[in-house]
A and B are shown apart, each in its own frame.
Chain A
Amino acid sequence: MGTFLQLLEWAKVGQALWKIGQPAVTAVLATIRAQGVSTADLQAAILEAEEHERIAHDEAQG
């Protein structure tokens, strides 16, 4: 019973996740669904965050 209720909850959350799975995040969610998140995925995202932080910093200075 507990497992069934858990599955029901996960289905609801999965539906909410899928709603934001529009083009910007669809590829990530598809990868996650198929293979999970790798260390390389996290490291690539850290580099992206650093690059965007630098761009935002430069542009905030005008």
Chain B
Amino acid sequence: MRLRRLLVAVVLFGLAGSGWGCALRGGVAAVKQPVAVSTLTVHHVLMAVHNAERAMRCGLPTAPSAGMCVTPELHRDLSARFETAFRWDKNVLRLVEAVPEGEMEPAAIGRLVAQISQMVADILAALPESPQKAALEARVGVR
């Protein structure tokens, strides 16, 4: 729930329009900097959760002990959710990249970022409790 609130704050910040006031590089227009920041932040949170989940698979040296690790069945289920989340992630990044300089971002960006945030929250909830999960939650700001 806390992660969701934080990610919503990121989205709202990104869609607020302007105000980050950072310098530009590489030809990205000022009007799309905030939404680019939000989108990239959500992308990196999703990447962190995916990498951590893969490292928690039962049998790997990085996995928690039996009962707390990610079973093959759970991993298949979560992988299907990650596949969807990364497809949305790819699409929203392409949308941000395609916005012409100086123009407002399409509303679909906000919807996709919200969908990814919800998927991340659902995946985190599905992971068994373990020290590795606690470390992941601390890393992405849930704890």
Contacts and interface: CB of A to CB of B under 8 A. Distances in A.
Interface of A: 6, 10, 13-14, 16-17, 19-25, 28-29, 32-43, 45-46, 48-50, 52-53, 55-57, 59-62
B48 A37 contact: no
Given A16-B9, A36-B24, A42 B97 contact: yes
Contacts, number: 144
Contacts of A48: 43, 47
B140 A24 contact: yes
Interface of B: 3, 5-7, 9-10, 12-13, 16, 19-20, 22-28, 33, 36-37, 39-41, 43-48, 50, 54, 72, 75-76, 79-80, 82-83, 86-87, 89-90, 93-94, 96-97, 138-141
A59 B22 contact: no
B50 A60 contact: no
Given A16-B10, A42-B93, A37 B141 contact: no
